[in-house]
Every structure is written in C-alpha cells, then in structure tokens.
Structure 1
Amino acid sequence: MPMSVLVSPATPLDLRSDTVTRPSTAMRQAMALAEVGDDVLDGDPTTAALEAWTAAALGKERALFFPSGSMANQAAIWVHTTPGTEVLCDAESHVYHWEIAGAAALCGVQCRPVRGESAVFRAADLRAHIRTPSIHAPEPSLVCLENTHNGAGGVVTSVEEMRDIQAVAREHALPVHLDGARLWNAATALQRPLAHLAACADSVMVSFSKGLGAPVGACLAGSADIITRAHRVRKRFGGGMRQSGVLAAAALHAAQHHYDRLAEDHASARYLAQVVDGAGRARVVAPDTNIVMIDLPQPRAAAVVARARERGVRLTEWHPARIRAVTHLDAPAGAVAEAAALLRQTLEEVLA
C-alpha cells in the first residue's frame, strides 16, 4: 500500500517561520467565548487574566499586553533610557536589525552592537564594549538580551550566562531588558522554569505569536513601576486596544495548551538538521530549539528556496548563502520528515 504524501506542491509545508501558524479550533472557540470589556477605559477581564498569568509565570510584579513584540521592546527601551544615550545589544539582535531603527526614531537612543567570539555575546564581551566614560562619547543606559536568539539560529543562552551578563550590567548601574520572543523555547530547551530566565532581567518581553501559535500579541513584564510607565508609552505608541480580550483569549489558550508541546518542535528541527546536513556541501548550524540555519557553500539561497517551493517546502532566504527553516505547531513530525528529504534532494541538485 503506498504511503500517504504529506508534502507536495498541492499540500505545501510552510517552514518560513513559526509565525505562520493558524488558530486551532479550540483557540477560535476561546476567542469567540471570551469575556470582554473596554481595556482602554476600565479594563478587559480576559486581558487582565492573561497579564496576571504572564506575570506569575515570569515571576514579575505585573505584565502588560501589547499588539506586538516589537512595540513591547520599544516601550521597554523608552522606559529604561533617556535620549542621547546608547543601548548595548547583540550585533545580530532583533532590536538592532529588525525593528527599523525604532530605538533611534522613537526613543532617541543609539544601539551599540556587541559582538563576541561565540554565536551570541557573553559577559566578557559586554564588559569590553562598555565605553570608558568620556565627554565625547554617549553614556550607556540599557543592556538588551535576546533569548532564544533568532539571528543566530534559535541559540539559547544559559541562565548562568545571563546572570553573569546581569552582574556586569549592575556593575555599571545599567538595567537589563530581555527580548524573550521565544523565551518559551529557551526554557523548554534548558528545562528550567520561565521565572529563572526572567529573573536575569528588569523587564521581559514574551511573544505569543511564535511557537505558541497565537495569531497576535505579546506581553511586557516587570516591576509595577516599569509597567505603569510602559502603559503610558503603549498609549503614546497607539497600542491601546478596546475589546482586546478576543486576542488575549487566543494568547492565554496558547500559553496554557501549547507551551508543553514545544519539545516536539525542537525534535523535528534536530531531525531536519540531521537529514540535510552535508547535502550539496551545505552545513547546518546544530539547532538548540526550533530554528534551523543552513549555510551554503555558495550564494545560491534564492535558487534553493525557489526550487524547494516548487516541491512544496517553503523556506526563508536569510541571506544569499544562508537558508532558515523553522518548525512549529502546524508542522507535524511526519510532514517535517518528508520536507527534510525533499530539501536534501533540492540542495544536492542546486548546489551540484
């Protein structure tokens, strides 16, 4: 009896990102039945429940619901910094590369990229990049971490290394903000509670629209003072939402029902990496979580992506010699296995 085909041009598998997931039937039902109010006027009960759950999970006093992680990151930068100072962040971080210079345009601060010898910066790298005080140089005002690190391929920073970075920041009286868009994946990979990772930062952003599979939304968590100030910034940025409980219900459902299955995505990513590594002399960055970066021996990423799409596998051209694949809720293990075989064949053909 022939095996069923899960991946084909007619039934494509989208591995471009874990943001491509669609709300499950149960999630849609939670959204439809959500108790709502006007969150801008006097509060939305479902949004309040999500914020309380997130604050407790991260071990923080309060949390605030945002339309997006980028807005939450920028609100944190606004709260922690003053114009004319600089934010120290990883050289490949999201806040540096993918928030269209929001720190400069919105907050009046510049980013100082920190590059270390490993995939992400360490405590010693941070110390080396903090400027000697000078009337000619901007003062530092904030340290930004990213865990997992998207640009590095979903790399996880350990709790111990995060604590070391936090200690260096404290030596210089600098607050720490954690871009934890995929902190759920980091905690899963490390087998540590979320609160252990969040304790290494003064403010933490978590996204519900990545591996957890919600359609939209993020939370910023921190002290009561930080969140009170962030609430005003969210209003200034246009992030106040009315019956936001419809969206918050999806995020809360995702956190309560999809968090525990993230290890499945990590296992699929490891399998994909194992199958395609070496095909056409391509090399895979061993995945810590659900992101697989494939480095090509020549700048043929566009051709590989196009050929794979013809076969039903959708990928991201990260740069001309690197491809990204991300496993997620809507990519079952069997489909990923078929996609891996198709991608290996594609790499061998295009890179021959």
Structure 2
Amino acid sequence: MLYTPPPIDPKAPPVRINLLSDTQTKPTAAMRDAMARAEVGDEQVGDDPTVNALCERVAALMGKEAAVYMPSGTMCNVTATLVHCRPGDEILAHETAHIIAREGGAHAAIGGFQVTQLKGPDGQFTPETFRKALHPRTRYQPPQTVVSVEQTANIGGGTIWKKAVLDEIVAIAKQHGLVTHMDGARLLNATVASGISPRDMTAGWDSAWIDFSKGLGAPIGGVLAGSRAFIDAVWQWKQRLGGSMRQAGICAAACIYALDHHVDRLADDHANARALARGLSQIPGVEVQEPETNLVFFKPDGAGIAGDKMVAALRQRGVTLAMMDGRIRACTHLDVNAAQIEETIGYVREIVRGA
C-alpha cells in the first residue's frame, strides 16, 4: 500500500505540528475575509464573476485558451482523461503517479481506460523509457492516447520534472499522435523552485491544472486549463459527474487570494523542507532524500526503529506525518514554521536515542 494514514488514537495529544500533508492548511484570516466579501452568482451558467475571474487568470497564467474551476484535483485528472480518451484507450504514466495510485481506479471504472505504468527513479520516467513503451497502432493493441506527468512527483519525493525533459516528452508524444496531460498538483511549487514560469512549464501540454488546496492554502478546488474546445467538453463531464456548483465564488475568492499572496511564499516551505532534511540527516541511522520542494522522505530503520513506530512516537508528541511507499513523508506548508521544524528534529533525535 502506497499511503498509510496515521492511526486515529483518541488518547493521543492534540496535533501541534501538522506535517501530514499540505492539504492540511487552514485558510488564513485574510483569505476568509476575501471569501466573505466575494461577489457570487450561479457558476453553472457562467454567472459567478469571481469564478470567471479565477478561470481567466489561470488560463492566462498557463498560456491556455480557457479554464474551468473544479471541486478537486482528482476531478481535474479524471475529467481530462474522459475527454482525451475513449473506452479501451491506453494512458502512459509513471508507476507511482496519482492517477494510478490515489484516484480509486476512476480512470478504469468510469472511462474504461488502462494505464501503462512506466518505471523510473524519483517518480519520473525518461523520454527514452516513454519512447520504448510506444507501439505501432494495430487492431491488436489498445490505442495509446495520452501521456501524463505529475508535477511535482509526489511519491518520487516532490521532485521537479526538468523543462528539457518535459519538452522532449511533448515532442515524442506529438510525433506519435498522443495528447499530453500535466497533473499540476504542486505545479507552482515546481515553478517557484525552478524559476520557470507556469506558462513556460506547461508549454506544449494540451491540458494542465493547478491545485489550490495544497501549498496555496485554499480550502477547496483546482483549475483545469486547455483549449476552448477541450474545456467545453470537460464542462459536460463536470455536469455528468455532479461537479457543477452554484455560488462557488466564495471558494474561488480563496484561490484568487492565494495567487496574490501565497505563491512566492512557497519558497519558505521549500526552505523549511531543506532545514528538516538537513537536521534529520545529522541523526545517525536516519536516511533522508534531499528535497527539491516541500516534501521530505526519510527512513529511520538504520537507527533501530521502524518507520511506523517512529510515526506513532511522533504522534504521541503532537507531530503528525504519514507512511508512504515504505518511507516517512513530511510535508511543509504555510501552517508550519521554522521553529516547529527544529522541534520536530529534536523529537526524532530523542526517539532515536531511546531506540
């Protein structure tokens, strides 16, 4: 199992340091104020000015013709593949990609698609691996329709797909008639860390989206962008799946606030992740993957304590993390400060000494 949530222990102390995920962020007081003051209308009929403003802004940010506001990032992925593919089609993605590991088999259950799992270190496959997975179009094999990447690669350690690699994958895909889709769950983490704009990062990708409920700190939603014809088709699937909303401007206002105030500060999360990794790596027996963004993966096995035992011990100290793919994942975000990072390092050191 790729992800194991921490056990619910009614006797555990209150969570003081929440490193479980950047989805744990709470809307700030200023964000709540922006939500309270939002102009609203019926989003389903295009009558919510705040939703419209958000979609226009995200489309421009990524250099696409149009965009649509969705309740979740998973819904962005699912509706995108439902538009790009037909039943029996094949999607190519990394073996740890969210569309494979974390979306409940939706692409198979709803769309009848199969996903070919490409291997590669750190949650990424190489252009050559992609090329070798392609096959001639014959009546005997499923049509290969979409190649998908996850930016950043979550289970790979929050790694950033390099621009040159993305461009090469696009070129191969276009040469062979495939559509390109970017799962942008932490896309802005990648753009802030790399200094590459969202427009340049998503250039050549037929569809891409931004999640607002992770590091950007909004309570709900993602925005999917692409061509106008693609977004029109996505809207029909949004309707079919029951995702159309009414006065959604209340939530969209939080996303606009995040674009105005929470993008540049993602660099603070990256700095906190580096500080956490640096401190953990100085503890004998703790193996740490060097973070590129806001995710820190580590294993304390060499210190004589299993990962799940470490997670349980930290939870008793008011710190919550997750086991993921056999490692501990800590995720920094706007509700975690530098002092809490140092406190967490101290707890891990204390637990290791006790072991």
Q: Is the 8 A contact 1:279 1:348 kept in 2?
A: no
Letter in 2 for 1:76: A
Structure 1, 79-88 or 9-18: larger mean CA deviation:
9-18
Structure 1 segment 90-169 matched on structure 2, within 5 A: 90-117=94-121, 119-169=123-173
Q: Deviations over 1:81-101 (max 9, x none)?
A: 111111001110000110011
Equivalent residues of 1:276, 1:341 under 8 A apart: no
2:342 matches 1:341: no
CA–CA distance in 1 between the matches of 2:295 and 2:117?
A: 23
| Native 8 Å contact 1:15 1:313 kept in 2 | yes
Pairing 1:189-208 to 2, within 5 Å after superposition: 189-208=193-212
After superposition, the Cα gap between the structure-2 partners of 1:26 and 1:142, relative to the gap in structure 1 and judged at 3 Å, is same
* Cα distance, 1:313 vs structure 2: 1.3
Equivalent AA in structure 1 for residue 311 of structure 2: V
- SS of residue in 1 equivalent to 2:172: helix
Does the CA contact (< 8 Å) of 1:154 and 1:291 recur in 2? yes
Paired with 1:130 and 1:44, the residues of 2 have a C-alpha distance of: 43
Deviations 1:273-325 (CA, angstroms, capped at 9, x unpaired): 01112535121111000000113437822211110111121110114x41000
CA distance in 2, matches of 1:10, 1:42: 43
**SS of structure 2 residue aligned to 1:260:** coil
- Report the counterpart of residue 174 of structure 1 in structure 2: 178
Instruction: Give the Cα–Cα distance (whole angstroms) in 1 for the partners of residues 243 and 349 of structure 2.
Output: 43
Q: CA deviation at 1:116?
A: 2.3
Relative to the length of structure 2, the TM-score reads 0.93
- Name structure 1 gaps, 5 residues minimum: 1-7
Give the 3-state SS of the residue equivalent to 1:107 in structure 2.
coil
**Alpha carbons of 1:86 and 1:11: their partners in 2 closer, same or farther (altered >3 Å)?**
closer
Displacement of 1:348 = 4.3
| Aligned position for 1:327 | 332
Q: Secondary structure at the match of 1:188?
A: helix
Unaligned runs of 5+ in 2: 1-11
- Number of aligned residue pairs: 342
SS in 1 for 2:298: strand
Aligned to 1:4: none
Instruction: Select 1:81's aligned residue among 71, 79, 85.
Output: 85
Question: What is the Cα deviation at residue 42 of structure 1?
Answer: 4.0
Q: Note the aligned Cα RMSD (angstroms).
A: 1.6
Corresponding residue for residue 309 of structure 2: 303
Query: Would you say the 8 A contact 1:18–1:327 is kept in 2?
Result: yes
Distance 1:348 1:177, change over 3 A: farther
Q: Which residue of 1 aligns with 2:238?
A: 234
Partners of 1:200 and 1:295 in 2: how far apart?
A: 37
The 2-side partners of 1:166 and 1:92 are apart by 20
Counterpart residue number, 2:318: 312
CA change 1:161–1:250 in 2 (3 A) is: same
- SS, match of residue 334 in structure 1: helix
The sequence identity of aligned pairs, in percent, is: 40
**Inter-partner Cα distance in structure 1 for 2:249 and 2:139:** 49
Please give the secondary structure, in 1, of the residue aligned with 2:33. helix
Stretch of structure 1 that moved more, 133-142 or 161-170: 133-142
Partner of 2:6 in structure 1? Answer: none
Call closer, same or farther: CA 1:334–1:127 in 2, change over 3 Å.
Answer: same
